[in-house]
C-alpha cells in the first residue's frame, strides 16, 4: 500500500498540486456512502481545516454518488485516481490526435457524473410532470456530450486509417515498438539508440505522442523504433480504448521491447500491469524482449539476480540497458540485430524475368539490397520476413538460393 501511495503522490506532483498529508484505511469492502469509513471522513475533514487544503485525491475509483457525498461533507473538491490521470493526460497531450483521444476519455468518464453537477438546480421549479432547469440542462448536456463523443470517434477512425496507410509504406522495414510502465525510461532509450533529441522528463507520462525513429544496427541493418504511451496501475479503461489508434503501432510491430525500470523494487508488479494492458489490447502474443533499463543504478549482484529471475520465472533471456553509461546499449543493439537476422534473413532469390508479380511482392514485403538482371532471370539479394519467403518459395520458377 505504501508503494501505491508513493505512486499516487507522484501523479499528484505531475498534475502540479502540493501534497500536505495522506490517510490510509484497509477495508473489506468500500463504504457505500463515502468509500472510506465515516470516522476516516471526519479525520479527513479535520486535516483539511488544519492544513488549509482544498483538494482530496483518492487512489481508488469513486462512484458519482460517493464523490458527491464526500464533497458535500468535506466542503472541498474530491477527485479519484481516474480523474487525476485524465487531467494529467489532458495537460501532456501535444498533438491534435492525443488531444482528441484524451478529450474522448474525459467525456466518457464525465457522462455518468453529470447529475452530480446539476443536483442543486433540480430542486427548483420541480413538480409533477414538470422539469426544473437543472434537469433540462442535464439532458441538454448529455445530448451535447453524446454528439461530441460520436464526432471524436469518427475523427479518430480517420486517424487510424491514415496511420494504417502510413504503415503499409513501411512493410519492408524491421519495426520495433517500445512498451512499458510509465517512467521506465523508454524515451531516453529511443533518444540514445537513434542519436536524436526527444523530450525526456523524470515525471510520469512525460510524453503521450508516439515517436518513430530510425536506428542503425550492426552489419548495415536498420530498425524503425516507436515509443508508445506509458502504462500505469489502474489505467482508466476509457483511456486505453481511446489510445487504441496510437497503440496500433505496437500491434503492427515485428518485435516489442518491454522496457522495465530494473532499479525499481516493484518491477514485477509493473511488468504484470503492462502485460495485462497488452492482453486487453490483444497484443499479449507478440514477440517480446524484456529490457531491464537503468542498469547504471544496479550493482553486479543485482544485475545477475535480475537475469536469473527472468530466466527462472519468466523463461526468457533479458537484456540489460543504460542510456547513461558508455556502451550501455551495446547488448540491446546486438539483440536487435539478432532478431532482425532471425525474422528477416538475408537471402538470394532467382526470379524469372517474366514473373513481375513475384518481383513486385519482393519489393513490397522485403528490403531489396541488390538486383542483377540477366536474359531470363533476375537475381536479387534481399531481407525477407519468413512468411513472405515461404510464399515466394511456392511460386513456379522461383529459386531461393539460400542465405547470403
What CATH number has the domain bearing residue 355? 3.30.70.240
Which of 306, 325, 342 is the endpoint of a domain?
342
**Spatial separation of the C-alpha atoms in residues 339 and 287, rounded to whole Å:** 10
Q: What would the mean pLDDT of 393-399 be, rounded to a whole number?
A: 87
Q: Tell me: do 158 and 191 sit in the same domain.
A: no
Burial label for 361, CB within 10 Å (0-12, 13-18, 19+), is middle
> 32-36, 134-138, 204-208: which has the highest mean pLDDT?
32-36
For residues 319 and 332, give the distance between their C-alpha atoms in angstroms, rounded to a whole number: 6
Residue 131 is predicted with a pLDDT of 43
Placement of cell 458519482 in the chain: 64
Examine the domain organization and report whether 202 and 276 are in the same domain: yes
Q: Measured between alpha carbons, how far is 171 from 344 in angstroms, rounded to an integer?
A: 12
Give the model's pLDDT for residue 242.
66
Residues 334 and 357 in one domain: no
So what's the pLDDT on residue 368? 85
Q: Which tens digit of pLDDT belongs to each residue from 311-352?
A: 999 999 999 999 989 899 999 999 998 898 888 888 888 998
The C-alpha cell that represents 229 in the structure block: 504511451
Between 257 and 123, the higher pLDDT residue: 257
**Secondary structure of the chain in HEC code, one letter for each residue:** CHHHHHHHHHHHHHHCCCCCCCCCCCCCCCECCCECCHHHHHHHHHHHHHHCCCEEEECCCCCHHHHHHHHHHHCCEEEEHHHHHHHHHHHHCCCHHHHHHHHHHHHHHHHHHHHHHHHHHHCCCCECCECCHHHHHHHHHHHHHHHHHHHHHHHHHHHHHHHHHHHHCCCCCEEEEEEEECCCCHHHHHHHHHCCCCCCCCCCCCCCCCEEEEEECHHHCEEEEEECCCECCCCCHHHHHHCHHHHHHHHCCCEEEEEEECCCCCHHHHHHHHHHHHHHCCCCCCCEEEEEECHHHCCHHHHHHHHHHHHHHHCCCCEECCCCCCCCCHHHHHHHHHHHHHHCCEEEEEEECCCHHHHHHHHHHCEEEEEEECCCEEEEEEECCHHHHHHHHCCCCCEEEEEC
Residue 316: CATH number of its domain? 3.40.50.300
Are residues 208 and 332 part of one domain?
yes
Q: What is the pLDDT of residue 335?
A: 94
Mark whether 271 and 310 lie in a shared domain: yes
d(CA 222, CA 277): 28
| pTM as predicted | 0.78
Counting every residue written for the chain, the total comes to 404
Instruction: Give the CATH number, domain containing residue 54.
Output: 3.40.50.11060
- Predicted confidence band of residue 367 (pLDDT cuts 50, 70, 90): confident
Average pLDDT for the chain? 83
Distance (Å, whole) CA 340 – CA 369: 15
What local confidence, expressed as pLDDT, does residue 332 receive? Answer: 95
Residues in contact with 76: Cβ distance below 8 Å, sequence separation at least 6, in sequence order: 48, 53, 54, 55, 56
67 in the same domain as 180: no
User: Rounded to an integer, what distance in angstroms lies between the CA atom of residue 384 and that of residue 285?
Assistant: 22
Tens digit of pLDDT for each residue in 160-210? 788 777 666 556 678 899 999 988 999 889 989 988 655 555 556 655 666
**What pLDDT was estimated at residue 126?**
40
Asked whether residue 148 carries a pLDDT value surpassing 80, the answer given is yes
Domain containing 206 equals 171-342
- Check whether residue 325 and residue 212 sit in a common domain: yes
The answer on 334 and 196 residing in a single domain is yes
Question: Which residue among 291, 320, 342 closes a domain?
Answer: 342
337's enclosing H/E stretch is helix 330-343
135 pLDDT above the threshold of 80: no
For 68-105, the pLDDT digits (tens) are 999 999 999 999 998 898 888 888 777 788 788 888 88
Do 304 and 354 fall into the same domain? no
Could you report the per-residue pLDDT of 254-299, keeping only the tens digit for each?
899 999 999 999 999 999 999 998 888 788 888 999 999 999 999 9
Q: Domain tally for the chain?
A: 4
- Regarding whether 123 and 59 lie in a shared domain, the answer is no
Among 65, 88, 111, the domain boundary falls at 88
Q: Which band of pLDDT confidence, cut at 50, 70 and 90, is reported for residue 228?
A: confident
With pLDDT > 90 as the criterion, what percentage of the chain qualifies? Answer: 35
Confidence of residue 133 (pLDDT cuts 50, 70, 90): very low
Q: Quick one: 390 and 352 in the same domain?
A: yes
Given a contact cutoff of 8 angstroms between Cβ atoms, the answer to whether 152 and 107 are in contact is: yes
Q: Which residue has the cell 410532470?
A: 129
Give the pLDDT band of residue 145 (cuts 50, 70, 90).
confident
C-alpha cell at 311: 530466466
Q: Do 43 and 118 share a domain, yes or no?
A: no
Amino acid at each position: 500500500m505504501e508503494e501505491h501511495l508513493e505512486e499516487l503522490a507522484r501523479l499528484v506532483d505531475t498534475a502540479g498540486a502540493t501534497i500536505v498529508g495522506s490517510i490510509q484505511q484497509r477495508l473489506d469492502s468500500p463504504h457505500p456512502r463515502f468509500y472510506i469509513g465515516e470516522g476516516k471522513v471526519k479525520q479527513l475533514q479535520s486535516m483539511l481545516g488544519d492544513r488549509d487544503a482544498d483538494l482530496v485525491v483518492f487512489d481508488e475509483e469513486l462512484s458519482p454518488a460517493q464523490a458527491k457525498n464526500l464533497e458535500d461533507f468535506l466542503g472541498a473538491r474530491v477527485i479519484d485516481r481516474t480523474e487525476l490521470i485524465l487531467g494529467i493526460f489532458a495537460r501532456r497531450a501535444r498533438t491534435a490526435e492525443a488531444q482528441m483521444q484524451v478529450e474522448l476519455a474525459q467525456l466518457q468518464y464525465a457522462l455518468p457524473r453529470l447529475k452530480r453537477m446539476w443536483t442543486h438546480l433540480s430542486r427548483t421549479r420541480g413538480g409533477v410532470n414538470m422539469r426544473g432547469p437543472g434537469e433540462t440542462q442535464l439532458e441538454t448536456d448529455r445530448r451535447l456530450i453524446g454528439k461530441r463523443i460520436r464526432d471524436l470517434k469518427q475523427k479518430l477512425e480517420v486517424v487510424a486509417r491514415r496511420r494504417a496507410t502510413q504503415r503499409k509504406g513501411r512493410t519492408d522495414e524491421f519495426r520495433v515498438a517500445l512498451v512499458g510502465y510509465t517512467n521506465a525510461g523508454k524515451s531516453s532509450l529511443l533518444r540514445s539508440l537513434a542519436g536524436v533529441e526527444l523530450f525526456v522528463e523524470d515525471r510520469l507520462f512525460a510524453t503521450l505522442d508516439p515517436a518513430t525513429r530510425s536506428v542503425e544496427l550492426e552489419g548495415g541493418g536498420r530498425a524503425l523504433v516507436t515509443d508508445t504511451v506509458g502504462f500505469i496501475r489502474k489505467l482508466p479503461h476509457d483511456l486505453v480504448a481511446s489510445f487504441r489508434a496510437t497503440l496500433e503501432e505496437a500491434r503492427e510491430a515485428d518485435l516489442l521491447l518491454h522496457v522495465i525500470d530494473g532499479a525499481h523494487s516493484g518491477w514485477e508488479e509493473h511488468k504484470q500491469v503492462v502485460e495485462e494492458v497488452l492482453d486487453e489490447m490483444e497484443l499479449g502474443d507478440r514477440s517480446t524482449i524484456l529490457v531491464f533499463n537503468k542498469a547504471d543504478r544496479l550493482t553486479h549482484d543485482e544485475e545477475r539476480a535480475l537475469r536469473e529471475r527472468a530466466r527462472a520465472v519468466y523463461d526468457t533471456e533479458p537484456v540489460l540497458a543504460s542510456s547513461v553509461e558508455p556502451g550501455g546499449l551495446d547488448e540491446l543493439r546486438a539483440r536487435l540485430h539478432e532478431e532482425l537476422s532471425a525474422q528477416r534473413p538475408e537471402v538470394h532469390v532467382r526470379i524469372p524475368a517474366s514473373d513481375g508479380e513475384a518481383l513486385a511482392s519482393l519489393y513490397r514485403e522485403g528490403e531489396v539490397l541488390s538486383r542483377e538482371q540477366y536474359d531470363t532471370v533476375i537475381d536479387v539479394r534481399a531481407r525477407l520476413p519468413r512468411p513472405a519467403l515461404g510464399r515466394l518459395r511456392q511460386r513456379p520458377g522461383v529459386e531461393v538460393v539460400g542465405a547470403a
